[in-house]
Structure 1
Amino acid sequence: MRHLGLPVGSLLLFLSLWQVVAAAGTWSETLVPPPAKVWDAFVEVSTTHDGVRGYNGTTLIEHLGISLRRIALGAGIGIGAGVLFGLVMGTVGWVRSLFEPWITFLRTLPPLAYFSLLVIWLGIDESPKVTLLAVAAFPPVAVSATTAVTAVPKHLVEAARALGASRRDVVRDVVVPSALPETLTGVRLAVGVAYSSLVAAELVNGLPGIGGMVKDAANYNNTPVVLVGIIAIGVSGLLIDGLLLRLERAAVPWRGRA
């Protein structure tokens, strides 16, 4: 009950404070709409209302689904490349020395810094959006996988070699299981970074898409729809992070117990 009651209580407290601030009239409803208006906007963009289907002809769940598909493809590519690259950098010293500064450089760049360049190179269709999400997701996984591989206990590697294991056997049976917990943490971080880059990825030709919906609504000062989009991104992000956390617990049940 405590695990359920605290989140519900904090949500009710937040909604109450939001209503109080909106009712106080310190800011106009354009800036701080009351929760009821945000709920009305949620209903409007989720259904067909007065002959208008959702927002810009697409319902909220469809906007969200298109964005999730972009994240799945882009983050999937970035995570897969990051895991492989981290494994190589963690096991081959000269590769790490060569590429680690470039990955650090890439990790410090905000998505908007190179999105315009991707648009110039790749156009305004799906390619720059997916590429941006892949580039955003790659560094956290590569760094975490590299750190995890280099932190594998040396005595385990030496014991495996003493028992006749080949280099491939050592990587498969010792390095990968030992590095898996830290790598999965990097995957969760990468998905979070991809989510935080979503609106940037959909700045150009982002409709349909939840980030594009947020940007388009902001252009017209449609704050309720902006808040609906932000809440949808946050809630879906929480659900996906919860699924990844369950996957982590299933894949590495020994974490925190040994």
Structure 2
Amino acid sequence: MNGKKEKSHLERTLTLLTWLIILSLWFIIANIEDTSSIVLPSPQDVWRAFIDIVSNGYNQLSLWGHLGDSFERLIIAVLLALITAIPLGLLSGYFKKISAIIDSIVQFYRPIPPLAYYALLILWMGIDDGSKVTLLYLAAFAPIYIACVSAVNNLDQDYILSSRSLGASQKDVFLRIVLPACLPEIFTSLRTAMGFAYTTLVAAEMTASTSGIGWMVIDASRYLKSDVMFVGIIIMGLTGVLLDSGLKYLEGKFVFWKGKA
């Protein structure tokens, strides 16, 4: 136990040192006279831009309004992906006939870059949040679905055969054997899907949008507001880390047996 605590403390120290070095290099390079603030704004400039955005907002909308709009789109899309991809993925892995219907569709659209069909979504659904949520939903759906199918296919068949020999019904086998055994991969895929959807969020907010943290970065880039761009990028990075940490915490609560012999 003490060894694990020491290892954890060492890892946190290394992480802290890494970021201290990155921030120090940023401060030194940005404050050299030949370095343009447009190319690389200093930490002081970025901090002042952050304080200004917190105090006065950006484009007549507060920072929390931009974050709220982005996260509303993101959370709705990921929740929709969860409640559809998990059952469809598990059923596709468990029943080959369902897989024959769904799998080819997912495999067809999965490698297509989101921007390639975003214009079509706008034509079909308009420029409101419906097209943006759908784009994020499609980005999040595929990794969750594929992970669920893979988890079922890798499931030890002895568990299923043993439960059936003891009189378990098809429903019991699915809910008590298949679903719990697949939970570790489901949570891993959820973290991956959240990352894909968050990355796609910027693309979704690039077109016909006037709010969102991704739109703020894109809009600032048009006017060479590098300090605002850095603020948006840093906020997206930090919120992404917080989201992933929250999912890891939930994973530890719901899949407490993962990694234990």
Q: Give yes or no for the alignment of 1:14 onto 2:22.
A: yes
Map Cα deviations across residues 21-74 of structure 1 (whole Å, 9 max, x no partner): 223355421111111111111011111xxxxx3101122222112211110001
Q: Give yes or no for the alignment of 1:255 onto 2:242.
A: no
Q: Is the 8 A contact 2:147 2:185 kept in 1?
A: yes
**One of 192, 195, 206 as aligned partner of 2:195:** 192
**One of 157, 161, 165 as aligned partner of 2:164:** 161
1:83-232 aligned within 5 A: 83-232=86-235
Map Cα deviations across residues 214-255 of structure 1 (whole Å, 9 max, x no partner): 111111111111111111111001001001001111111111
1:1-80 aligned within 5 A: 1-25=9-33, 27-47=35-55, 53-80=56-83
**1:50: which partner in 2?**
none
Give the SS at the match of 2:206: coil
Give the SS at the match of 2:47: helix
Q: Tell me which amino acid in the other structure corresponds to 2:25.
A: L
- Alignment: residue pair count: 253
Q: Is the 8 A contact 1:41 1:224 kept in 2?
A: yes
**CA 1:26 to 1:102, structure 2 compared with 1: closer, same or farther past 3 Å?**
farther
**1:234: which partner in 2?**
237
Q: Is the 8 A contact 1:79 1:134 kept in 2?
A: no
Q: Which runs of 5+ in 1 are unaligned?
A: 48-52
- Aligned-partner Cα distance in 2 for 1:239–1:54: 22
**What is the TM-score when the length of structure 1 is the normalising length?**
0.94
Q: Tell me which amino acid in the other structure corresponds to 2:67.
A: L
Map Cα deviations across residues 131-160 of structure 1 (whole Å, 9 max, x no partner): 111010000000001101111111110011
Q: Which runs of 5+ in 2 are unaligned?
A: 1-8
**What is the TM-score when the length of structure 2 is the normalising length?**
0.93
Deviation, 1:114, is 1.2
Q: Tell me which amino acid in the other structure corresponds to 1:118.
A: L
Q: Is the 8 A contact 1:79 1:190 kept in 2?
A: no
- Aligned-partner Cα distance in 2 for 1:41–1:128: 31
Q: Tell me which amino acid in the other structure corresponds to 1:111.
A: P
Q: Tell me which amino acid in the other structure corresponds to 1:38.
A: V
- Aligned-partner Cα distance in 2 for 1:17–1:173: 53
Give me the CA root mean square deviation.
1.4
- Aligned-partner Cα distance in 2 for 1:98–1:110: 23
Q: Is the 8 A contact 2:205 2:211 kept in 1?
A: no
Q: Percent identity?
A: 38
Q: Is the 8 A contact 1:33 1:224 kept in 2?
A: yes
**1:243: which partner in 2?**
246
- Aligned-partner Cα distance in 1 for 2:82–2:218: 27
Q: Is the 8 A contact 2:41 2:227 kept in 1?
A: yes
- Aligned-partner Cα distance in 2 for 1:8–1:125: 41
* Deviant stretches of 4+, over 6 Å: none
